[in-house]
Structure 1
């Protein structure tokens, strides 16, 4: 008799943090891939570094807190906080070495071939040094503040993510060695440009730019900061601190003020979690920094080249279109081109008379928009803008998790309130690293008369939903937008997301109940169509997974295809394992963290996991269930993570329009067939990058979606 495997055994789960590092390696790999345009390769190196900053500020910081608190509860993979910190350190160091080598030994040389010269200060000629000396005196020296460290000057506070110079000087009168810290100011550009007339190579028609890292300019002009002293040595270092917010919501009478206080604490300082130093730094300085920052050897990362490579984003600003991705402008689907638009600059907000309004189009049938292939401005943003100015619209309600600093959506909501409409907005103050921005806009909305609420105690409101109530004759009609991405016009050009525009009565009823839950004292537990977390989403998802398994046990076909950002939730993973054992064929498209282990005999050989990492950040969530031919497809804001299913307010909507269901299945199929940007997860946790086989054409899902959108718009097919 075959023994039933214990699906709670840690061997069946990958560690969340190590899986995230594997994702970030896939980002780095885009920067190492010679098929990627040169400046885009620098961009991916910058993203890799920026991702790591956030990883240390949040995830590593949490593990350190758990270690200090002797937390005994272990994740599904069974690793203690100490073991996780050790394995993170061991896994990350080779990746940093790869990043360093590809930049210093490969990309910098390729940049030179393209007329872009990032030069080390020691390689400059006399004229270039003379120019930078004057530049230092005029533009850098006035904003520098050297800080001595001695018995009368305690070790200064080192701000989060700051680049610094550890300087050792000798007093010629006493022959005493002294230590000081100089902060490289963030208000100045990281790379100091040299004028073409002194640095352009003679006879080089391809020269574009020459420059030097700011910290090297400072380091070679330190005499101005320490007159009368002898500069002994200078070494760059960079500090990362815990930046997670800790707000006791039950104790906070005013959540907005509590968040503001925590933001000040974040700036003023929490404990250091990482020290990056140049590999040439002497042991004595290394140990001094570690001691003053309260860090151990495991927290120190040696870098041979430049520190803080997230500043490589700068190079995307250079005028070199041939070294970048072909520009993409989101298309306006044909049916949306007929929508009336608000006249720019028209003070009274009148609407043009030609064409149909967006409400008429929605009444004709549900609309699916796919960003950034479809224009966010011409669809979702236009929906909000028309609602703000339409005299028949009575009420607008929406959730705001993240939005841009100059958001036209915020301006539309303010206009709606000024036009006498009832406007209610739930602003999520705890959207990590967007808290300050959200506070600013929350206050502006309140000043305009918008009803602003800040969510539910203990829950983040992550759902992407909007409800518009419109008077049509003697009746009220509710229009909805339910999406997978934030109401952010800027990220809508960079993230792949989906949105449904509909006036289905059941969805309007559900969103009415959901907003009452968010803004009032409703304890709504039943919804007609929506899956809502933390109310019923995990339960319904597991029911649908189990239903596929039951179909297989009864001799029918079982099939699941799911696309998400991360798969972490242990109960969902166990259900997927059980379904796979019953014979369900499961394809998972998981961009980032995946704790499920595919391909294990008797456990998960029917499960395949791929990750797509390309020019756009894959952010949409799609869930497909075959259901014995009665197919069901859902889109929404939630991943299969414990935080999404238990600690966030999320909404996932079923798709009922057959054409839209077919379109979503085609999107999943194109992603599954990607052999250009897709990686396949192996049973041991490694990812193998898919490559076109001999005589096989490369298929990039994102390129296909761009080509399809352009073709359909050009030929009037959408």
Structure 2
């Protein structure tokens, strides 16, 4: 017997549960698409006003992105443990969405500074649409686990069991574990005239306990926090062989022993609940010297942010819920009644179980052929390879450890290297890259680390290893006041026979060896003199005072990324039907960029956008975006690279870099895009986007109504090709061609 009843058949539906808000200001064509009122000519007029409702709402678009994640969890063709992981990813994504986007919107409404969104919705309308969509998605998410994925796990010998389903021996064993490991760290908090309602920290899982005094018969409320540092799932010893796993939730073990916490009281009812709070940071940066200290103080305040969501167990009594909403000051629309267990982010633990037959096939990155030593026993000379040719890396298919990590490690150990300069946005404290920078500083090299300590939700980690770097003698700076440093850059300066040579790496992903195995990203290793000069100027701007730095090859935000891309888009628009624009990003909402793409489409140019997450564009609208296609790919790897291609084939102009097409990236961050010079590499980037846009590849297609439609089966009902699986096969099978000299 498990926690999961028989499945219901409608959970695997693929229709959107996050409908776009009502469209206004434009008449509908008979086919359901849009036409501009009075549009009678196909002649392109660049001065023509664009329709006011041309933008999709970014918050609703984000919910639709998370719905695509949920569709992967519902797909029986996806391995079972990976479906379980997608359930956890969905929950984690939604937590961050509420903590940042919903909390920020509520704060702007409360302070009176919220304005109508680009989609035309008033702030409270956006909040209402979010609430409606989020309720539907969270209910579907919980039902998918309860009715489909949970029973499927049970069928494979991975079972969540209730306390009452345990044998006496198992209950006794868990009782001993509770008394020795759990009980000492619990702090029961009662509510009465002498004990005010306790503070409930954000994202903590809690037990609401209703107690009755045997002496008076009066009812009392108490709260018990489930310790976040203890494992959420407790695995029971298995007697049925290797492929049987039985798990008990920690909150069930605690609930079964509440009499130990409240001796002399009768435990009447127990329910779980969870609060999400505003956890976005606001730090004054006027005094950059004190930024680190200011951020540390703000992190302490973060856990006291106002609530934005209350999740409660479906069976919770109304009078208990009334108490929670009153004390937490939560609006009824912010309450989410869900079947237990709450907080399915913990399903990552289940997804990590060693059951290879229930997971994606094992994937091992390969070393880029240009970086593979001729003699396998010899260490690769990364710097020599880069002197020979530009190396375009595609992670995780190209190994990060034998390319970027090896590049920085070799530079740190090379006595001819004089300086290493690097940006660090997100990495891990035990990263070999951090160790390499420390070793380089210890050997007397000039080492500069531009650390972005304000990288959201990585602030505490970044503060920790920033101090570690400082103590080791690395020059650590925190970027520019008012701007996050999001660019992914590394510059190595080496003394050689002909003088100083600069080796550069410009990438789309963080210098994090752990996420590099899970994120799809691109990077360029080059000795190009102009790029080296640009990186030198950019690092000087980040570490010193050089506000008027000019760049020959790089596009750098906030100054030239938007303007540079707009010029390139306009150049393709000027070609009419011969123009071609291809963009691959995580998100695209910037109005100026979107409008430029609309005008390019109106001029007849083809516009293909491959976007993982948020998209404000409406493709396929007659008279506005008829030549525009927008598609999305999700899978085992997080699609994270950004590519901007203009033109066709080897003659295209291609940039890659760190910037998404969002206001924050273009206006409030230091971002960098680097052009690709090698014609074969240019063609490869164009082909990468073309393959992702192909009707033969499984993806989601965005329509003019703003709905995402999944295309993963062909006309005969057979699965379409998976882009990431294709790359795994093709990269693994390649051989090193003859080197160009």
TM-score bracket relative to the smaller structure: over 0.9
Distance change in 2, residues 1:398/1:616 (3 Å)? same
Once the two structures are superposed, residues 376-421 of structure 1 have per-residue CA deviations (whole angstroms, 9 ceiling, x without a partner) of 0100011101111111111111100011121100100011111111
C-alpha distance in 1, partners of 2:313/2:736? 53
Q: 1:659 aligns to what?
A: 680
For residues 205-258 of structure 1, give each alpha carbon's deviation from its aligned partner in whole angstroms, at most 9, with x where no partner exists: 574211211111211221111111111111100011111110011156411111
Q: How far does residue 692 in structure 1 lie from its aligned partner after superposition?
A: 2.8
The CA distance in 2 between the partners of 1:691 and 1:44, in whole Å, is 17
Structure 2 spans left out of the alignment, 5+ residues: 1-37
Q: Corresponding residue for 1:586?
A: 607
Q: 1:181 to 1:520 in 2, by over 3 A?
A: same
Choose which of 567, 573, 597 in structure 1 pairs with 2:618: 597
Please give the secondary structure, in 2, of the residue aligned with 1:649.
strand
Distance in 1 between residues matched to 2:516 and 2:406, nearest whole Å: 14
SS in 1 for 2:371: helix
Aligned twin of 1:349: none
Aligned pair in 2 of structure 1 residues 8, 190: CA closer, same or farther (>3 Å)?
farther
| Coordinate RMSD, CA, aligned | 2.1
| 1:227 and 2:251 matched | no
Q: Distance in 1 between matches of 2:200 and 2:442?
A: 46
Give the match's secondary structure for 1:264: helix
Distance 1:79 1:698 in 2: 37
Partner of 1:480: 504
Q: Is residue 390–residue 524 contact of structure 2 (8 Å, CA) maintained in 1? A: yes
Contact 1:680–1:687 (CA under 8 A) maintained in structure 2? yes
Matched, 1:626 2:632: no
The equivalent of 1:703 in structure 2 is 725
Q: What CA distance in whole angstroms lies between the structure 1 residues aligned with 2:49 and 2:115?
A: 18
Correspondence for 1:610: 631
C-alpha separation in 1, matches of 2:371 and 2:215: 78
2:237 is matched with 195
Give the C-alpha shift of residue 124 in structure 1: 3.0
User: Which residue of 253, 260, 264 maps to 2:300?
Assistant: 264
CA distance in 2, matches of 1:141, 1:676: 53
CA contact (8 A) 1:114 1:206 kept: no
Question: Is 2:114–2:123's contact at 8 Å kept on the other side of the alignment?
Answer: no
**Given the alignment, which residue of 184, 194, 199 partners 1:142?**
184
Contact 1:252 1:258 in 2 (8 A): no
> Map of 1:316-715 to 2, 5 A cutoff?
316-338=351-373, 354=378, 357-552=381-576, 557-626=578-647, 630-673=651-694, 675=696, 677-695=698-716, 698-713=720-735
Name the SS of the counterpart of 1:254 in structure 2.
helix
- The answer to whether 1:17 aligns with 2:59 is yes
Q: Secondary structure at the residue paired with 2:575?
A: helix
- Given that 1:339 and 1:355 are in contact with CA atoms closer than 8 Å, whether structure 2 keeps it comes out as no
1:715: Cα distance to partner? Answer: 9.2
Q: How does 1:91-110 map to 2 (within 5 A)?
A: 91-110=133-152
Query: What CA deviation, in whole Å up to 9, does each residue of 1:662-712 have, x standing for no partner?
Result: 221221122122656410111122111112313566211100111011100
Preserved contact between residue 650 and residue 682 of structure 2 (Cα < 8 Å): no
Q: Is the 8 A contact 1:481 1:501 kept in 2?
A: yes
Call closer, same or farther: CA 1:206–1:505 in 2, change over 3 Å. closer
Which one of 53, 59, 69 corresponds to residue 101 of structure 2?
Answer: 59
Please give the secondary structure, in 1, of the residue aligned with 2:574: helix
| Cα distance in 2 for residues equivalent to 1:251 and 1:108 | 52
TM (normalized to structure 2)?
Answer: 0.91
Q: Quote the Cα distance in structure 1 between the aligned partners of 2:250 and 2:213.
A: 26
Mapped to 2, the partners of 1:155 and 1:57 lie a distance apart of 22
Q: Distance in 2 between matches of 1:422 and 1:230?
A: 67
Taking the aligned partners of 1:717 and 1:666, their CA distance within structure 2 comes to: 22
Conserved in 2, the CA contact under 8 Å of 1:600 and 1:683? yes
Between stretches 169-178 and 627-636, larger displacement belongs to: 627-636
* Contact 1:480–1:502 (CA under 8 A) maintained in structure 2: yes
Q: Are the aligned partners of 1:676 and 1:692 in contact in 2 as well (CA < 8 Å)?
A: no
1:325–1:2 CA distance, 2 compared to 1 (3 A): closer
SS of aligned partner of 1:210:
strand
Output the CA distance in 1 between the equivalents of 2:289 and 2:508: 32
Does the CA contact (< 8 Å) of 1:340 and 1:357 recur in 2?
Answer: no
**Structure 2 residue corresponding to 1:211, chosen from 247, 251, 266:** 247
Instruction: Find the residue that maps to 2:398 and give its secondary structure.
Output: coil
Per the TM alignment, residue 356 of structure 1 is displaced from its structure 2 partner at its CA by 5.9
In 2: Cα distance, 1:413 partner to 1:311 partner: 35
Question: Residues 508 and 188 (structure 1 numbering): CA distance in 2 closer, same or farther, change over 3 Å?
Answer: same
- How many residue pairs get aligned? The number is 697
Deviation at 1:120, TM superposition (A): 2.1
- Name 2:280's counterpart in structure 1: 244
Supply the distance in 1 between the matched residues of 2:344 and 2:227 (Cα, whole angstroms).
16
After TM superposition, the structure 1 stretch with the greater mean CA deviation from structure 2, 42-51 or 314-323, is 314-323
What's 1:42 paired with? 84
| CA distance in structure 2 between the aligned counterparts of 1:356 and 1:315, rounded to whole angstroms | 38
Report the CA distance shift for 1:36/1:156 in structure 2 as closer, same or farther (over 3 A). same
Instruction: Report the 3-state secondary structure (helix = DSSP H, G, I; strand = E; otherwise coil) of the residue aligned with 1:152.
Output: coil
The CA distance in 1 between the partners of 2:214 and 2:106, in whole Å, is: 44
Alignment of 1:310 onto 2:331 = no
CA shift, 1:121, in A, is 2.2
Question: Which residue of 1 is the match for residue 20 of structure 2?
Answer: none
SS at match of 1:66: helix
Moved more, 690-699 or 356-365: 690-699
Structure 1 distance, partners of 2:386, 2:365, is 21
Shift of 1:340: 9.8
Q: CA 1:340–1:419 in structure 2 vs 1: closer, same or farther (change >3 Å)?
A: farther
Contact 1:613–1:677 (Cα < 8 Å) also in 2: no
Label 1:126 to 1:356 Cα distance change in 2 as closer, same or farther (>3 A).
Answer: closer
Looking at structure 2, the residues matched to 10 and 126 of structure 1 have their Cα atoms a distance apart, in angstroms, of 67
More deviation, 225-234/695-704 = 695-704
Query: Alpha carbons of 1:150 and 1:328: their partners in 2 closer, same or farther (altered >3 Å)?
Result: same
Query: Contact 2:700–2:709 (CA<8 Å) still a contact in 1?
Result: yes
2:115 counterpart residue number: 73
Pairwise CA distance, 1:338: 1.3
C-alpha distance in 2 between matches for 1:6 and 1:475: 55
1:278 aligns with 2:313: yes
**1:613-663 deviation per Cα after TM superposition (whole angstroms, max 9, x unaligned):** 000000000111017984201100001111111110000011110111122
SS of equivalent residue, structure 2 residue 227: coil
The equivalent residue for 1:160 is 202
In the superposition, the TM-score normalised over structure 1's length comes to: 0.94
Q: Distance in 1 between matches of 2:649 and 2:447?
A: 43
